[in-house]
Structure 1
Amino acid sequence: MAEAQIAPSADADSLAALISRAAGQTNGKDTPLPPVEHWNPPFCGDIDMEIRADGTWFYLGTPIGRQPLVRLFSTVLRREEDGKTYLVTPVEKLGIRVADAPFVAVELSVTGRGDGQVLTFRTNVGDVVEAGADHRLHFVIHGDNSELKPYLHVRGRLEALVARPVMYELAELGEVAVIDGVEMFAVRSGGVLFPVMPAAELAALSA
């Protein structure tokens, strides 16, 4: 297998140039996100940047400690049909590594009750997302330990892994409902029921 191409912009000077170009597309978290889905720049190779499973960003093996910089990079992320994630500006597209999901949902607030209940999540990079028809929750049973991992659609093909403490809060809001003829344990938000697992499986886990 051929080695991944490393972009010339993997050095500090070129990264600074990338930061400058990205900053030109967004002026703070209260401004509209840049239209990365509509840009079609050339692929310029992979950069030694990784988002770990806990949401920590690394560059050249070192954590990026400046949260405003992480926020800036997060606004120019795009996941494509090939399953890979890229930093995208109007003039370049750089591949990065993502261990799980690019974002982590770290906070949950609940408004309303019953059919009017809305679950609002805040991610580790400052996105605020209401779960519903446009931002769906889905649940994955992962690994040998059958770990339950909830994910929230944020934008494009980008998702947030729901952090474990928030997952416990989410579970407290669950209800049993019949979905497609099967009793399911589910959570409700924005008029949508999101199935977590069959109610029978939940009963077995609780036994």
Structure 2
Amino acid sequence: MPETRQPIRVAGQPLDALAEVIGARRLPPVERWDPALCGHSCMRIAADGSWYHNGERIERPAMVRLFSTVLRREPDGSHVLVTPVEKLTIDVDVTPFRALAMSHEGDGEKRRIAFEIDSGDAVILGAAHPLRMIDETPRIEVRNGLEAIVARPLYYELADIALAEGHQPPGIWSDGCFFPL
């Protein structure tokens, strides 16, 4: 079946238009599916965001994007690939996603920051998609407990914004929320 979900790109898009595109994106309702655990998928998401099956890297980005739509984080912190009829565990080295590009508009409390996620999705940093620091590494909630690590160059850009604005503690505003760095 050909992929119909094209990646969302944040570069050059006004954030209001980007928010509409994000809001129109429909993902499978994995949170409503509860099949029995069938075993292990023989899949792993490496720390760099690469997906592997039986030790071989999955080279087709469309395949990775498709698998990412049925990824779910369980209450115990584990990750599974889930459909209405089966559930398979998947190993995740750190987080399943990476935030690889960023766009922002406005200043201070009026700023909005969008992140492009390596799964082809995008999020606007705010109450629904908060940023938190884990072991000095910034992470954004993408959906249902699934997180993306913010790429180092983006973190440096966020830090520059925070330092320029002089908040104590240092942090950034996005979509009406303040996130300490």
* TM-score between both structures, scaled by the size of structure 1: 0.74
Greater relative CO (CA pairs within 8 A, separation 6+): 2
How big is the shift at 1:140? 2.1
SS of 1:173's equivalent?
helix
Cα separation, 2, equivalents of 1:87 and 1:194: 31
Overall identity of the aligned pairs, in %: 46
- Unaligned residue ranges in structure 1 (runs of 5+): 1-19, 142-147, 178-182, 197-207
**Is 2:5 the counterpart of 1:28?**
yes
For the 8 Å contact 2:108–2:172, the answer to whether it is kept is no
- Give the match for residue 46 of structure 1: 40
Query: Residues 90-147 of structure 1, C-alpha deviation per residue, up to 9 Å, x if partnerless?
Result: 0000000000010000001011122110010001111110000111000123xxxxxx
- Give the match for residue 172 of structure 2: 187
| Equivalent residue letter for 1:78 | R
Bigger Cα Rg: 1
How big is the shift at 1:176? 3.7
Cα separation, 2, equivalents of 1:172 and 1:108: 14
- Unaligned residue ranges in structure 2 (runs of 5+): 7-23
Aligned length: 162
Cα separation, 1, equivalents of 2:37 and 2:166: 47
Cα separation, 2, equivalents of 1:172 and 1:68: 34
* TM-score between both structures, scaled by the size of structure 2: 0.85
Cα separation, 2, equivalents of 1:156 and 1:128: 14
| Equivalent residue letter for 1:172 | D
- Give the match for residue 11 of structure 1: none
Structure 1 runs of 4+ off > 4 angstroms?
A: none
CA RMSD, aligned part only?
1.6
| Equivalent residue letter for 1:123 | I
